[in-house]
A and B are shown apart, each in its own frame.
Chain A
Amino acid sequence: MRGTGRPATLWRGLWFRRGMSAGLLLMAMVAVAAASIGPSYHDAAATFALRRTINQAPPAGQALHLTVLAKPARPPVPAELLDPSALEQNAASALGRHERLFQRHVGEILATGVFGKGNASELAWRDGVCAHLSFEAGRCFRLPTGPRVGKTRHTEVIVDRQTAAARGWRPGTRISTPLRDSTGATVGLTVVGVYTIRDPGEPYWYGRDADPTAQAETGTLFVDDSLFQFLDPRLPEEIGVMGRILMPVRADGLRSADREQLGQAVRDVAGFAEANKARLSFNSGLAKSLDEIEASLGTLQVPILVVTLQLVVLCWLLLFFLMTDIAQARAPDIALIKLRGLTGVRLLAFGLAEPLLLLLAALPLGVALGRVTARAMAAALFGSTVPMGMPPTVWLAAAGTVAGGVAAVVIASRAALTRPVTEQWRRTEGRRAARGWVPEAILLTLVAGGLAQIVGSGALASAGRQNAVSLVVPGLLAMGTALIAARLLPLACRALFARTRRNGGIGGFLALRQIARRPGGNRITISLATSLALVVFATASWSATRTNHREVALTRLGAPVVLTVSPPPGRWIADFVRQADPAGRSAGVMVTRRSEPGAPVTLAVDPGRFGAVAHWRSGFGDRSLDSMVRALPRRGVRPVVLRGDRLRLDLDVAELSVVGSEENASVQVRAEVVLPGRLRPVEVALGTISDPGRRSLTGTLPGCSRGCEIRRVFLTEPVTVRPRTIKGTLGVRGMWERTPSGWRPVDAGLDDPDRWRVYGVEDQDFMSTYGVEGGSGRGGLRVTFDTPLGLWQGMKPVAGPHESTAIVTTGVLEDETTKARIRGLNGERMAVTAPFTVRVLPAAAESGVVVDEAEARRAAGTIAEKWVEHQIWTTADAAPGIKDKVRAAGMTVHAERTLQQEIRDLGQQGPGLALTLLLAASVAAALLAAAGALLSLYASGRRRTYELAALGVAGARRRALRRSLLLEQLVVLGYGTFVGVGAGLLTVWLVLPSVPQFVHRPAAPKLTYAPDPLLLTAVVAAAVAVTLSGAWLMSRAIMARVRADQLREAPP
């Protein structure tokens, strides 16, 4: 007869118990999903970390760089140095199979010495350079060759702005060179454009010094590559040629599996260069970027594994409990089949076919569910552009979970499969209950052992020391507490038997007896309590971590929004911000950082605003930041300020000679002036002196109408092969400036001994040790020298204090003093005294200094752009307006960092991601446990409907029966909830300080381990609400099935 086969019967069984079947399928799916989320999540996180780290790395960390040299450097130049395709060949040979990880290579051919001895300007071809330049005049080169003029082939060339200004080159200028092409014709250059580099910091420029403020002599003239291809390789001796190949990583195309290959690529290219070291050299910071990625991922892998394992074990437990209920429900069927003679494998197949089928079905469904969930989480955390691979560990984890589920099914069904048939229907059940404690005792032993091992290893020993192993403790502790608590509930109920026997109606009487005698109550308590404890812990960890992330982010940034901008033209940053934001919500800051980790950060600030804008906590110092900044003592300084268009020095040259020679000692006199907003002082040439006598030297001032300050007056001589020692005595008796109303004296204080100093080379001491002495005083400014002039800094007005005052963090001070040496705005050392010391400074953590920006500026003289960032610190509300004004002023916003971005970045690191996963996973497990508990209560209640119907017919009121059911559900669910929340809070107290929250635990600010009370209360309230509503719903559903006519049937 059709439809009587095994599959049809199996399907009927599944459908008959569709509630439990659906519960088992769902639980198994969630277990598989939970196991498979971890590897998928990790894959996406690794891809994100890989792409982001490389994109955010400095240019050296984003590419590989090969330099091809001609060695020995003598003509003829090897052909590969003049042929871009040969350069490309080198790159392809070096990269080999790793090519797909890299973008289109950037080749470069460089020729030095083309423009004369002592001129460091270079002639270069660089692949695709025009797209990275802006043109102040003219255009980029277009034609490979220009017209021949006589015997000279002219090639189009573009020149940088500084070089063009220094040499007076402009579009149309023709430049001759000693180069010849293969026909013997000389090669001339025709300037067609004057360029500036759009973004010197972009990775394209790795390998070149793209500093836009570089001196004119190091500028680069770019040409098309055809020039080099047509060159006669027999170049003049003074011309050097090299080739470069930049191989940028294709960061946005990388996937997590590419990490290893990328590392191998670095090793292979380095090896290739080493094998050809006669002509190749290799450079890259990519290995460091990869190390950072590994460090970040290292803090993710273990937590994800721990979180996943806990969730999978919890799901196994839930599966086991549910299967125990299912096995109980199927016990009569199994007994019947055994009665009919089924044994061995066929009996196992009958007993286990249904749950095993569901487990197998759960494997692909669970993996799909896990993928969908992981994708959603990854999209929320990393954005939708980050792909998520399918590592083999996904299936491994899923299969392992199903295997564990199979074990749970087998263990849960063991009793029903092995119990003698006659016991199934025997009235007495003495043996069954006696075996119930064994699995729990085993679990408890494992839990205790695990905890002992972890505590013994010191993972929880010192609060604040992050340890990923601590994430195992909540699960173990929760389960141990639940196991013990589950045994106490029946005992407590038994203790109340006598009371309910005497009073309270039969509702309490029935409820307590049912709880005391049913074995399922233990299971519900264990599963509910364990999962709720995990939820409480996960919520607490996540909320405490969010709070800490916010505090750390705000301390790292310094303010809610920090804009890194280009220097404002003609003004200092503090002045610009004062004008742009009169409301006082913003402050201008110059930040000096060094590359060494842990090196102090110098913040040169506007004292009137900084304290009100910067992030401050009372724990950072003993006073408010604002009061300390405003109270910084300021040394009175009197800079020598010029406002005219020309400067004149009246000199008395008493002596001037070359030591040990009769040569003529001709020296140039120059002044350096600092213009507002210009980072580097501008040199003003005043003239030449060669003989003793009186002189008046005059030079043109470069736009001092707003006021510029003299930084120094110094002597220099042309660069020679061998520096000469010059001896002499010089006095400055007068300083004049020309204004629209005529020449007037400058308030230079030449007679004031406190106004001028003579400085040596390396130190800021008053007196040089290099044969130079002098200073201001009666009779003017005088200096006596007996030194190579290149070793002498010059005569400087005392415009800045010898030691500035500052607010410093404790760790920066020199031992037992209030003094410190920090990096000034010129990148050189600067001495400070500290009237105020604090524990933490915004943007500097435990290692930093705050100084008055005007004092720091004057002390430095030059602002070293390589070391200094110009920042505007402001609030989220004020930021849009400030940015508009920055752009309107012609400035560039190089970067904008907000508090939300910083918090998100911290959350996207390993520990943050792991805690997010723990929270999501534990909530899912808790919902599953609640569903399992309700299902178990419902199944148990269904089995008792006959008994309840009999009680009803015997005279018990329906209301009393309903009350007994409700009370039973409330006590079981409520107890599990109570134990779970309690265990969770205990775990929070014990473990939270050890939970990893950062990749590297920040030294400051002090972290908090207090969870958000509102969030925690909401979670507990939700748990209680689910408990109450679940109990009410279940009792109603069960009572709906209690009918008197059930008694017509045989009791189950």
Chain B
Amino acid sequence: MTVVRCDNVVHIYRAEDDDVVALRGVDLEVGQGESVALLGPSGAGKTTLLWLLAGLLRPSAGGLHVLGRDVEKLSPGALSRLRAREIGVVLQNPARNVLAYATAAQNVAQAQRIGRTRRPIGELLERAGLGHVARRPAGRLSGGEQQRLAVAIAMAHRPRLLLADEPTSQLDRASATAVIELLRDAASESGTTVVVVTHDPAVGTAFDRSLTIRDGRVGSEGKDGTEYLVVGRDGSVQLPPALQEILPPGTRAVARALPDGVELRREAE
């Protein structure tokens, strides 16, 4: 089953006096149980795509289906219900993922109340390695603990889709590893579809697929250790940075069809 389907999704937002095209026609499909990393440089549109998937934004154009629903047609209340019951979100800043004044257990319980589900809180916290700090105020946990708690909170209502926005960017290596492990476990054990935004290629390799977004488009996809270029709807192809050294932007190249592909050669001088 396709959990996420983007058909030529475009998103434009207004910043001060300018219109910014954050996404320029994203085509994407994520199946159930898959774990996908969205890679790309800052400003590529990764977070915007994540917020679209979370129902926090609506696409300016194109089709977006999440968990079988057309996001464009859902009311704000329906989107909120979707997030409450079927989507979990982990933000980049660990402190923003928790209610600092509430204990770890209370944070999890709060999420369960919103999602109208019940799971043993202790078990969730143990799985996240936080059983020993269940009664500690979340504001007094370390960054890594807070981020693990955020994953536990996001999983508290058994979401079908888990979205994480750069969950390890503010963590040290060990904490980051622990968080990634949690996310992978969520995908493998619970069957939750996981989409993680990151700019760290190392994090990207930890998941089933990685999609590189550049300039608002999916430029390449990595799977099973191989990096594939994705041909856009308009036939354009984004060369990875390593190949751009050979064919820098502005270079005129001759394309030649091959039986199983296309050859590009620099124009002879």
Using a CB–CB cutoff of 8 Å, the interface residues on chain A facing chain B are 1, 3-6, 8-9, 12-13, 15-17, 332-333, 336-344, 346, 420-422, 425, 428, 430, 1049-1050, 1052
Contact = CB atoms under 8 A, between A and B. Distances in A.
B3 interface: no
A338 B109 contact: no
- Chain B contact-residue range equals 35 or more
A3 B105 contact: yes
A1049 B115 CA distance: 30
Judged by DSSP, the binding face of B is: helix
Given A338-B80, A428-B15, A420 B114 contact: no
B93 A1050 contact: yes
Given A9-B106, A341-B84, A421 B56 contact: yes
A490 to B, nearest CB: 20
B238 to A, nearest CB: 26
B106 A344 contact: no
Interface in B87-146: 87, 89, 91, 93-103, 105-106, 108-111, 113-115, 121-122, 134-135, 137, 139, 143
Contacts of B106: 3-4, 8-9, 12
B15 A3 contact: no
B101 A339 contact: no
A422 B77 contact: no
Given A4-B121, A341-B87, A1050-B170, 11 more contacts: A3-B105, A333-B99, A336-B97, A339-B54, A339-B56, A340-B110, A420-B56, A425-B96, A428-B16, A1050-B93, A1050-B96
A15 B139 CA distance: 13
Contacts of B87: 341
A332 B91 CA distance: 12
A1 B81 contact: no
A884 B105 CA distance: 83
Contacts of B158: none
A341 B111 CA distance: 9
Interface string B6-30: 0000000001100000000000000
A13 B102 contact: yes
Contact of B84 (A6, A340, A420, A422): A340
A3 B110 CA distance: 12
B101 A16 contact: yes
B206 interface: no
A1050 B144 CA distance: 12
Nearest to A423: B56
B91 to A, nearest CB: 8
A918 to B, nearest CB: 40
B89 A422 contact: no
Given A12-B101, A430-B16, A341 B83 contact: yes
B74 to A, nearest CB: 12
A16 B138 CA distance: 12
A62 B89 CA distance: 80
B229 interface: no
A13 B77 CA distance: 26
Contacts of B102: 9, 12-13
B109 A5 contact: yes
B82 interface: yes
Contacts of A340: 83-84, 89, 110-111, 114-115, 153
With a 10 A CB-CB cut-off, give which of B51, B96, B134 has the most chain A CB atoms: B96
B70 to A, nearest CB: 18
Given A336-B99, A342-B80, A1 B56 contact: no
Q: Which 10 A-B pairs have the closest CB atoms?
A: A341-B84, A16-B101, A341-B83, A4-B109, A343-B80, A1-B121, A341-B80, A9-B106, A1050-B93, A4-B106
B176 to A, nearest CB: 14
A272 B113 CA distance: 72
Contacts of B85: 341
A8 B106 CA distance: 8
29 contacts: A1-B121, A3-B106, A4-B103, A4-B106, A4-B109, A9-B110, A12-B106, A13-B101, A15-B101, A16-B137, A16-B139, A332-B96, A336-B98, A336-B99, A337-B110, A338-B80, A339-B54, A339-B56, A339-B83, A339-B89, A340-B89, A340-B115, A340-B153, A341-B115, A342-B80, A343-B80, A422-B57, A425-B91, A1049-B95
